[in-house]
A and B are shown apart, each in its own frame.
Chain A
């Protein structure tokens, strides 16, 4: 009987450890999670006074926290100003960031983080990129040459711990389901077997 209760305590301790790792830590510390994004375009499109870009997206979560675009400043030589705007569905500017070529890599994501917007899943936004760079082919944005679509990333935040816990739980369930089921079973079975072995 004493052995069974010790085994029980051991298994509970392990479960607490795993719950701490998978449920508590991410829920408490990861409040900002990636949302809708487009990262597959490899073409470079000239970004200059004649070529500005606008990208529409529908948010897939609540509370928009940041947007990022992939720019290229060859040899870090261009010092022009670049303006990144977040616009609502009526193209009114909600947030804007003005940055110079100094902070653009060759290439690199330019992250524009702001105090989160009280937006809802399904809201429509626009990202507008413009510059005062007058020379063509000196500053670039990654996108698709044909339809002028651009690469972009978004992040969304959670307002409270309950929401964060729920999002994390969904994420962990999704991860568990996409893991190799055979290896998951073997691993858990191995742990159980070792636990039992310790107490026989």
Chain B
């Protein structure tokens, strides 16, 4: 393994410190809004929100799993000594003045510290898996992960790290730790369950060992939801998140396409002999997911760490494919009718950015073109490119 230049890591931290405070997305606030109640001694957030909905300043329900609440509630408690005195005032202000907090840059800086740690840990695990500096440096300096982690400011970087760690363990034949780690990721956010079959069939020689340990992937989830299983408010909250619906949305003759193609990718994966079969399969799932699902931008984070090695090792024309694909993704995101995904990111610099028209609104007001139609065409193009990519990488696999 070649030696890492520490100064490059510190330079990467410097770039992050220059980005972290100045970009905002409301998700970071809405998530922390619920998590703050753990410090108030609230153990059942579903019940609490259900009973106090009309009195709470933020009326949306809590849509995450119980473990997510305990995990981030604990992080909130640990970080609280670093908070500015007005952070909780901001957190509970959802009215006219919600963006008028000059200390917002420090709120963002402190709240993103856990993301910085997990971001660097992803780089470290990538280095451990692939034993090349190129992958680490690409992770540290690529603008996509910086955008996903520090501009969108969503906590998906944490389950993404745990999923990558789980892959690292399965590669090293540490089945128990692999399943336990992905189990923690699943308990935080359900999506890593998609990666589970690929871990299971990664090493076919050890399939019996996999059968023995696979149960541990569900233990953290089951243990954390048991106390809430008889509670209606838990089901109401949990079913409101919508990922399953989105995955099943795209249908041809009544059949949901994503699960069917997912199954095909899994079958091909089982017979693959490629050194990078796992990464290729995840890339194929990603290409399919982006083309078929009305995705939230932060969901790209789920797949992104696994794609790094393929990008770094690919030829120029493949690199160009990735770049064009991501440019279209950003164009798609840019046209979402949500100002918080464009100008709204700059609210910590000036709250008046919240009042600027988003590209969606500008197109709608100033032209006769329907921005939804442009977005749909871009999505169709992404599906087209995605299918080409799936076949190309399928052939290589």
Contacts and interface: CB of A to CB of B under 8 A. Distances in A.
Contacts of A29: 343, 353, 356
A17 B356 CA distance: 22
B351 to A, nearest CB: 9
Nearest to A70: B96
B21 interface: yes
B240 interface: no
B349 A187 contact: no
A118 interface: no
Interface of A: 14, 17-18, 21-22, 25-26, 29-30, 32-34, 39, 168, 171-172, 175-176, 178-180, 183, 187, 190-191, 194-195, 197-198
A33 B354 CA distance: 11
Interface stretch (B12-20, B215-223, B327-335, B375-383): B12-20
Contacts of A179: 102-103, 105-106
Contacts of A197: 7, 10
B355 interface: yes
Contacts of A33: 352
A198 B10 contact: yes
A35 B78 CA distance: 40
Interface residues of B, number: 25
B350 interface: yes
Given A179-B105, A179-B106, A183-B106, A32 B352 contact: yes
B59 interface: no
B349 A194 contact: no
Contacts of A195: 14
Chain B binding surface SS class: helix
Contact of B18 (A17, A25, A180): A17
A195 B14 CA distance: 8
Interface in B17-44: 17-18, 21-22
Given A25-B346, A179-B102, A194-B14, A30 B353 contact: yes
Chain A binding surface SS class: helix
A198 B103 CA distance: 28
14 contacts: A14-B18, A17-B18, A18-B18, A21-B22, A21-B346, A25-B349, A26-B353, A171-B350, A175-B102, A178-B102, A179-B106, A191-B18, A194-B17, A197-B10
B11 interface: yes
Contacts of A191: 14, 17-18
B61 interface: no
B122 interface: no
Contacts of A32: 352, 355
A29 B14 CA distance: 27
Given A22-B349, A29-B343, A30-B353, A198 B102 contact: no
Contacts of A194: 10, 13-14, 17
The 4 closest A-B pairs by CB, nearest first: A175-B102, A26-B350, A178-B102, A183-B106
A133 to B, nearest CB: 26
Contacts of B18: 14, 17-18, 191
Nearest to B352: A30
Contacts of B84: 180, 183
Interface in B63-85: 84-85
A17 B355 CA distance: 23
A198 B109 CA distance: 21
A180 B11 contact: no
A197 B352 CA distance: 37
Nearest to A13: B18
A169 B224 CA distance: 51
Nearest to B110: A183
Interface string B266-302: 0000000000000000000000000000000000000
A178 B84 CA distance: 12
Interface string B106-121: 1001000000000000
Contacts of B355: 32
Nearest to B105: A179
